[in-house]
């Protein structure tokens, strides 16, 4: 069966001298793997559209055990990602997280849009990398149905006025006073809590539209990362390297 779809190349694995196995995030079929024969040859018709982080139009043959790329045409290439080790490391991490999450439609279309927008922001250096990392991590979990309960303290109903604690396993929020009663230390200051609520609740076109202090960004980054890993229940190899370059 032959299909036409758009997709973002999340990962490439070289096979032999010139072939690749691509992992592609598509809006209508989720994450799939496909063999791109000869695509590492410079003159091959698949070469330009099968690169890492290429967003392309694909014609694929879907087989019982394997899929094959018949043709591909570039829609968008993020050339700026390779300009910094930090930016590329973050892009690789986000792509691995998307591949592990492996969403089905219609969530796949939403996650693809989030990832494309995140790559654009990294590419254009629009926001600090830690902020972009946190936005992707928490929003991806919200799209998957794991939005934390972040409106008020679950014990007393307090909304603001002090630091808060987000339980990254349960997704519940406690104010500093209620957190102390169960021997938990706050992990969100006022800025980080505001940003967390924004990430969870903002419309797509306003998702990236906030600024945050460095101290609050670090708190937000840690909470969102821990929350993602807890809900994926899967380690991410690229995160170890990303941490070494973002320190």
DSSP symbols for 30-69 = EEEEEEETTTTSTTSTTTGGGSTTEEEEEEEEE-SS-EEE
The string of pLDDT tens digits covering residues 5-61 is 999 999 999 999 999 999 999 999 999 999 999 999 999 999 999 999 999 999 999
Asked whether residue 111 carries a pLDDT value surpassing 80, the answer given is yes
CATH of domain 2-77: 2.40.50.140
- pLDDT at position 64 is 86
Tokens of 224: 């969102």
Torsion of CA 96, 99, 105, 106, to 10 degrees: -10
The string of pLDDT tens digits covering residues 171-183 is 999 999 999 999 9
The model's pTM is 0.95
Asked whether residue 142 carries a pLDDT value surpassing 80, the answer given is yes
For 7, 18, 96, 99, 148, the CA distances from 11, given in Å and listed in that order, are: 12, 16, 8, 9, 30
Q: What percent of the chain has pLDDT over 70?
A: 100
Strands 54-62 and 67-77: antiparallel
Output phi, psi for 92, to 5 deg: -65, -40
Using 50, 70 and 90 to split pLDDT, how confident is the model at 217? very high
- pLDDT at position 209 is 97
Tokens of 173: 């929020």
- pLDDT at position 67 is 95
- pLDDT at position 235 is 87
Asked whether residue 102 carries a pLDDT value surpassing 80, the answer given is yes
The whole-number average pLDDT for the span 81-97 is: 96
Domain ranges (residues) in the chain = 2-77, 81-148+165-246
Asked whether residue 247 carries a pLDDT value surpassing 80, the answer given is no
């Amino acid at each position: 069966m032959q299909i036409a779809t758009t997709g973002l190349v999340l990962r490439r694995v070289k096979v032999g001298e010139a072939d690749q196995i691509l992992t592609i995030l598509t809006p209508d079929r989720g994450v799939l793997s496909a063999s791109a024969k000869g695509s590492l040859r410079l003159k091959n018709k698949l070469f330009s559209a099968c690169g890492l982080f290429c967003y392309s139009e694909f014609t694929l043959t879907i087989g019982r055990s394997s899929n094959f790329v018949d043709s591909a045409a570039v829609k968008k290439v993020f050339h700026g990602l390779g300009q910094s080790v930090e930016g590329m490391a973050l892009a690789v991490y986000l792509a691995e997280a998307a591949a592990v999450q492996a969403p089905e439609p219609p969530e796949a279309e939403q996650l693809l849009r989030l990832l494309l927008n995140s790559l654009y922001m990294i590419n254009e250096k629009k926001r600090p990398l830690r902020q972009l990392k946190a936005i992707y991590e928490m929003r991806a979990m919200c799209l998957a149905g794991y939005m934390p309960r972040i409106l008020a303290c679950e014990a007393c109903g307090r909304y603001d006025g002090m630091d808060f604690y987000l339980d990254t396993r349960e997704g519940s929020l406690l104010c500093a006073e209620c957190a102390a009663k169960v021997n938990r230390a706050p992990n969100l200051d006022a800025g980080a809590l505001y940003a967390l609520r924004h990430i969870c609740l903002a419309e797509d076109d306003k998702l990236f539209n906030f600024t945050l202090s460095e101290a609050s960004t670090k708190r937000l980054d840690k909470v969102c990362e821990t929350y993602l890993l807890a809900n994926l229940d899967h380690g991410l190899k690229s995160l170890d390297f990303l941490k070494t370059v973002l320190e």
